[in-house]
Structure 1
Amino acid sequence: MEAQGTVEKKYNKWIIALSVIIPIAVAILFTIKLADFGLDVEPFYFLPPIYAGINAATAILLVVAFLAIKNKNVKLHENLMKVCIGLSLVFLVMYVAYHMSADSTPYGGEGASKYIYYVILITHILLSIAIIPLVLISYVRALAERFDKHRKIAKITFPIWLYVATTGVVVYFMIAPYYG
């Protein structure tokens, strides 16, 4: 049990650092444009449907991973969770690259759809920040073989991560008609 706690402690500083650095870096990079560095690049308009697809794939794989662990297929669950983490990292790189190359697209809908869009968008953004430490803690607890603790936090992590991945797709489809 001592060695398991050591593994967790070893990663705690990384979890805290990444949980703070990633959202701050994304917020900063969101304000920087590649053109500011004299790079004359066309906006990466092709990226939003790709990273929406990555969000959809992540949502599907999260459900499959959940079903795998419910059926006691630990290895499949473990592999799928690693893929989901990898997909989330690829999404993040594409998301930042897009926003560094293009101006943000304002939502053009009116009435109730506008309020629905902003509620979904704001909860998506806030929970995408919250999910970072939850995923990292869940992963480290599994790595440390602290499965009792892993299960406790995974019960919180899973629905939030699924919400973030799913609403990422919803936000894309709602904003897509207004892309330049």
Structure 2
Amino acid sequence: MLTYHSVARDEAHQVFDALEDLYAIVYAEPPYSEGPEQVARFREGLPEETTRPGFRLVTATDGTLLLGAAYGWTMATGTWWSRATEDPPPEIRDADKFAVMEWMVHPSHRRQGIGAELMRRLLAGRSEQYATLASNPVSAARRMYKRTGWQQVGTSALSWGPTMDLLVLPLQLRPTA
């Protein structure tokens, strides 16, 4: 039975192994084609991610199997993605934003609404004016973001990967969970 969980910051470490496994499966697929080095970098960063202001993690499980996860944290007023090639419009830069760092669904469970429900729960009740995320421009996820209202406001140049599209979604009118 599919169950969604909001994982408390101080309990997030309990799902790190499952998050690492899911990440390895999701990002092994094209266009990402990530391997052990990228998976290790993801895992190493998890403890710091949980210390960020406004951190929230939502998971979808079937028994003990992690089928999906989404997490992020607050990007404060006046800040933007560190590797952005341009600044966003002032109304975005000068507002608190919720930075979605990961949004993953196991390939065998896609197109069942799990990802949409994860994002709905992740963003529900947020006080920030916008959500923001970085997306590979040639990924299937990028096309889904466009269909669901995310708008591109810039790009980010990564030294270890492709140039990413920086997207935003207004939150002030979003329903709560």
> What TM-score do you get using the length of structure 2 for normalisation?
0.24
Is the radius of gyration larger for structure 1 or structure 2?
1
Which structure is higher in strand share?
A: 2
> What TM-score do you get using the length of structure 1 for normalisation?
0.23
